[in-house]
Amino acid sequence: MANAKNKALWHGRFTHAPSSELMDFTASIDIDRRLAPEDIEGSRAHVRMLGKTKILDGKEVAAILAALDTAQAEIEAETFVWFESDEDIHTAIERRVTEIAGAAGAKIHTGRSRNDQVATDLHLWFRRAARAAIIATHELQKTLLDQAQKAGDEIYLPGYTHLQRAQPVLLAHHLLAHYWALARDVDRWRDALDRADVSPLGAGALAGSSLPLDPKFTADALGFSRVFENSLDAVSDRDFVAEGLFVAALEQVHLSRIGEEIVLWSSAEFGFLDLAETHSTGSSMLPHKKNPDIAELVRGKSGRLIGNLTGFLATLKALPLAYNRDLQEDKEPIFDALDTLISSLGALSGLISASTFNAESMRAGADSPENSATDLAEYLVRAQVPFRDAHAQVGALVNESIEKGITLREVVANTKGFGPDAVALLDKGVAVTNRHSPGGAGPEPVAQQMVLAQQHRAHLTKWLSD
Ligand code: ARG
Q: Which of 328, 330, 332 to mutate to test the pocket of ligand 1 (most atoms within 8 A of CB)?
A: 328
For residue 108, report the distance from its CA to the centre of ligand 1, in Å: 17
Q: Which of 16, 162, 288, 459 is catalytic?
A: 162
**357-381 mean pLDDT:** 95
Q: Clarify whether residues 427 and 361 are in a common domain.
A: no
Q: Which of 225, 267, 283, 437 is catalytic?
A: 283
Q: Clarify whether residues 149 and 286 are in a common domain.
A: yes
Quick one: which atom of ligand 1 is closest to the CA of 90?
5
Question: Residue 357 sits in a domain of what CATH number?
Answer: 1.20.200.10
Q: What is the pLDDT of residue 1?
A: 63
DSSP assignment of 279-342 equals: G-B--SS-TT--B-HHHHHHHHHHHHHHHHHHHHHHHHTTPPSS--GGGGGGHHHHHHHHHHHH
Question: Residue 106 sits in a domain of what CATH number?
Answer: 1.10.275.10
For residue 324, report the distance from its CA to the centre of ligand 1, in Å: 8
Q: Clarify whether residues 353 and 399 are in a common domain.
A: no
Question: Which one of 307, 334, 365 terminates a domain?
Answer: 365
**3-20 mean pLDDT:** 85
Quick one: which atom of ligand 1 is closest to the CA of 88?
1
Q: Clarify whether residues 64 and 143 are in a common domain.
A: no
Higher pLDDT, 108 or 286: 108
In a domain, 429, yes or no: yes
Which residue's CA is the nearest one to ligand 1's atom 3? Answer: 328
Higher pLDDT, 184 or 8: 184
Q: What is the pLDDT of residue 2?
A: 66
Q: Clarify whether residues 239 and 177 are in a common domain.
A: yes
Q: Clarify whether residues 266 and 333 are in a common domain.
A: yes
In a domain, 2, yes or no: no
Ligand 1 pocket residues where CB is under 6 Å: 28, 32, 88, 114-115, 118, 323, 325, 327-328
| pLDDT over threshold 90, residue 333 | yes
Q: Clarify whether residues 372 and 358 are in a common domain.
A: no
For residue 87, report the distance from its CA to the centre of ligand 1, in Å: 9
The 10s digit of each residue's pLDDT in 287-309 is 899 999 999 999 999 999 999 99
Q: Clarify whether residues 383 and 414 are in a common domain.
A: yes
Q: What is the pLDDT of residue 3?
A: 61
In a domain, 301, yes or no: yes
166, 171, 449, 451, 457 from 461: Cα distances, Å: 36, 25, 18, 15, 6
| pLDDT over threshold 90, residue 4 | no
| pLDDT over threshold 80, residue 243 | yes
Distance CA 212, CA 205 (A): 15
Which residue's CA is the nearest one to ligand 1's atom 4? Answer: 328
Distance CA 398, CA 378 (A): 15
The 10s digit of each residue's pLDDT in 305-319 is 999 999 999 999 999
Q: What is the pLDDT of residue 440?
A: 96
Question: Which one of 318, 333, 365 terminates a domain?
Answer: 365
The 10s digit of each residue's pLDDT in 184-229 is 999 999 999 999 999 999 999 999 999 999 999 999 999 999 999 9
In a domain, 1, yes or no: no
The answer to whether residue 209 is catalytic is no
Count of domains forming the chain: 3
Q: What is the pLDDT of residue 250?
A: 99
pLDDT bracket for residue 12 (50, 70, 90) = confident
Give the domain extent around 81: 11-110
The answer to whether residue 28 is catalytic is no
In a domain, 229, yes or no: yes
